[in-house]
Structure 1
Amino acid sequence: MELPISVALARAVPVLPDGLGWWYEPKFDGHRMIMVRTEDTVTLYARSGRVVTPYWMDLALVGMALRPGTVLDGEAVIWRDGRLDFGAAQSRAASSVPRARALAARYPASYACWDLVQHPDPAIGDTRPLPYTTRRALLLELLAEVGPPIQPVPATDDRDVAEYWYEALQEQGLEGVVAKQGAAAYPSGGRGWLKVRHADTVDGLVVGFTGPRHRPHHLALVVGDEDSQVRLSARLEPVLAAHIGTAALSGAEVMGERRTEHETYTRIQTDLTVEILEGSGRHGTLTVMRMR
C-alpha cells in the first residue's frame, strides 16, 4: 500500500438518510489520523498526509500493540471531565514537539477508530475495496486484541438509535452522526459518507495568518477541497484571536509570505482546522467561530 493514503471524507447533509443498507456512527471531533503499524514502529499521518507522530507519541506507543501491517483510519481525541475537548486536540496538533509532549503528559489522547484500511493478514491486505460491513467486522476482531485507548467507534444500522445518539451525546461533545452505506467500499479521496452536525458550520483548513502570530488579525483558509483558492477570514474577535494564536499558531512552521485577495499573509505548515459560519460562503465573508 502506498502511503500516505487519500482519506475518505464526508459531505454535510441536513438530515440522516433513511432506508435499507445505511449504517450510522457518532461523529467524534478531534484530529483526523491514519495509524500505520509497521514491523518496527508506528507512523501517524494527518489528513493532509503530513507525518504527525512526534506530536502524538502517546498514541504511537499504544499503537505498538497492533499487529504489524495494520492501517487504521480514525480520530485522535482528548477527553477532559467526561467530554471531548476539541480545542485540546487541535492545540496538540498545532504545537511544537516539546509542547505537544508536555500536553500529552497532562491530557493523554485516545484513538476513536472507525475503519480498517489494511489488514495485517497478507491474504486480506488492502481492505478498501471491501464493503463497510466486512471492514467493520474485521476491525472489531483486530481491536479486541488491543483495547483502550485505541477503540472502535460505536455503529448501528438502526436509524432511531442514530437519532438518539445525535440528541443525547451532544453533552459529551460529540459533533453529530456520520452515515455510511453498508455495501460500499472505502471512498478514498471522495465524499462518499454523509454527516449531520449540530452546528451550521463548515470546516476550513488554516494555511496562514495576517498580523502578529500570537494575536492574528485574519486567518488564511482553504474551504472545501484542499486545492481550493486560499481566502482570508473576517477580522477575528480578540478573545478568539488570542486563543488561536497562543494555542495553535505558536508552534507552527513558517513557510514564508504569500499573497491572496491582494493581501500578504504568513504561510504556515499546520493541520489546524476551524469552524466557519455556514453561509459566510464562497463569495461572502468567512466568519471563524472556533478552533476544531
Structure 2
Amino acid sequence: MRRRRAALEDLFTARRLAALWALCPQTSDPATAAGWLDPVWEAAGIEGVVIKDPCSRYRRGERGWLKLRTRMTTEGITGAVTGTVHSPTSLLLGRFDPAGQLKLIARSTPLSRPAAAELGPVLRPAGQEPPTPVTSRVHR
C-alpha cells in the first residue's frame, strides 16, 4: 500500500496535476483525521473520512472500509416529504432566506419504518398558506 501511495504522489508531482484532479490527504494520526471531520471542510467538498487498513485493497461489492461523514446541526423546517404524507420515506428540510422564501437545504436520510410510522400520523398535507415555522434539528 505504501508503494502505491508513493507512486500516486510521484504521478501528481511529475504531471503537476491540479484543479479537477485531487490527491486525497492521508494520515494514520487519529487527531488529524478528526480535524477533517469539522463541518468547515464540507465547504471544500470533503464530506468525511474513510478508515481502512493501509494494507487492504478495494474489493467491489464488499464493505471492508468505514466512512465517517461530517455532521452539521442547524435549525430547519420540514417543508415536504418523499413518499406520502401518511408514510414518508424522507424529509425535505428548508430554511427561510432573507426575503422570507422557504429554500431547500437538505434531505434527511431514509426514515426507518418506526420513524415513518411515528411521523405519518402527525404530518398534514400542505394547504395554500405558507408552512408554520415549526423547527426541527437537522443533522447533515
1:133-166 Cα shifts (integer Å, max 9, x gaps): 3432232222221421112011012223223333
Q: Distance in 2 between matches of 1:158 and 1:239?
A: 37
- Runs (4+) of structure 1 exceeding 6 A deviation are none
- 1:233 aligns with 89
- 2:126 aligns with none
- 2:109 aligns with 276
Q: Distance in 1 between matches of 2:30 and 2:4?
A: 20
In terms of fraction of residues, the more strand-rich structure is 1
Q: Which amino acid aligns with 1:189?
A: G
Larger Rg: 2
2:92 is aligned with 1:285: no
Report the TM-score when normalising by structure 1. 0.28
- 1:218 aligns with 81
Q: Please provide the CA RMSD for this pair.
A: 3.9
Unaligned residue ranges in structure 1 (runs of 5+): 1-130, 201-215, 221-230, 245-272
* % identity of equivalent residues: 26
Q: Give matches, 1:164-183, under 5 Å.
A: 164-167=35-38, 170-173=39-42, 174-183=46-55
Q: Which residue, 30, 35, 43 being the options, matches 1:159? A: 30
Q: Distance in 1 between matches of 2:93 and 2:32?
A: 38
Aligned residue pairs, count: 102
1:197 CA drift (Å)? 2.7
1:192-247 Cα shifts (integer Å, max 9, x gaps): 211223329xxxxxxxxxxxxxxx94335xxxxxxxxxx85256356598538xxx
1:1-29 Cα shifts (integer Å, max 9, x gaps): xxxxxxxxxxxxxxxxxxxxxxxxxxxxx
Distance 1:276 1:234, change over 3 A: closer
1:182 CA drift (Å)? 0.8
Q: Give matches, 1:242-257, under 5 Å.
A: 243=104
Q: Distance in 1 between matches of 2:3 and 2:113?
A: 38
Unaligned residue ranges in structure 2 (runs of 5+): 73-78, 97-101, 120-137
Q: Which amino acid aligns with 2:9?
A: L
Report the TM-score when normalising by structure 2. 0.50
